[in-house]
Amino acid sequence: MPPQHVLGVQNELGEGILWDPRHQCLWWTDIPRCRLHRYDWSGGSVEVFETPERLASFGLVAGSDRLIAAFASGVALYSPHTGAIDWLARPPEAGAGVRFNDGRVDRAGRFWTGTMVEDGRDSADAHLYSIGAGAGLRRHLSGLRISNSLCTSPDGSLLYFADSPTRTIRAFALAEPAGDLGADRIFATTPQGSDPDGATVDREGCLWSAHWGGGCVTRYTPGGSVERVLRVPASQPSCACLAGPALDVLCVTSARADLDAGTLRDEPHAGDVFFYQVGVQGLPEAEFRP
């Protein structure tokens, strides 16, 4: 199924896309270019904000126009329109080849975000964190390489997470009120050459996973079986969300990073954002509660 609409933004590494219902817009980041994009749903215009450092992921904030943001070096409350930034945590392990990556707000209003190892290193020096009201930055998992696929089940009882090079999405029990991670299980394993990247959960509890290198977004049932595979016109889809007034348009970011000239000729839409009518409704984006 071809996309119904393509935003020709040509991002180097588009990521972290989410729907903002209060302002009826889409937000996403182009990480290496230090740019945050805002797409006005009714007007069709794209506004671009320069960020103070690489912005990897972010979430909406309750009662505020600020974002809870995972920059390369730490987590902050960030105002795109003014550039104001209020750092909440900058752990010393984020640096020297390790940066923050994927992130998502859970149903209880905590922001989950993980780091990744870059610069071609093969070490497992990344971690998974959460930050919530009065809790500060908590480390939950260590020994990771690329944190990804963060999202929660509709009732908030499960946290989905992947260390991308393992090609495995895991489902963790999420215990309230503290937000501790409990027992985990293998939720899904992706094909060779198709790493699980950003993900979102719909109203039916199914998980939509962007498969980096696989050129597709796969919808998994709550039990982890494949319900459908949606091909996209780029080999590196990076993240997905369900957007629009009815939350029924799947929006997918992609990347052109690390693709050679021949591949870019074959993939003229690499780095664009794709819109699909999928006949499934999403859930309102959870908001961070500072």
User: Active-site residue numbers?
Assistant: 197
Is the CB of residue 28 less than 8 Å from the CB of residue 273?
Answer: yes
Say how far apart CA 155 and CA 134 lie, in whole Å. Answer: 23
- Name the pairing type of β-strands 55-61 and 67-71: antiparallel
Angle at 90 between CA 29 and CA 236, to 5 degrees: 30
Say how far apart CA 213 and CA 196 lie, in whole Å. Answer: 9
Q: How far is CA 263 from CA 193, 215, 233, in A?
A: 16, 13, 12
Say how far apart CA 44 and CA 40 lie, in whole Å. Answer: 5
Say how far apart CA 209 and CA 198 lie, in whole Å. Answer: 6
- Name the pairing type of β-strands 25-30 and 14-20: antiparallel
Angle at 58 between CA 53 and CA 61, to 5 degrees: 120
Residue 196 CB partners (closer than 8 Å, separation 6+): 148, 149, 162, 164, 167, 168, 169, 188, 190, 209, 210, 211, 212
Output the CA torsion 233→237→240→242 (10° steps). Answer: 0
Question: Is the link from the previous residue into 290 a cis peptide, with omega within 30 of 0?
Answer: no
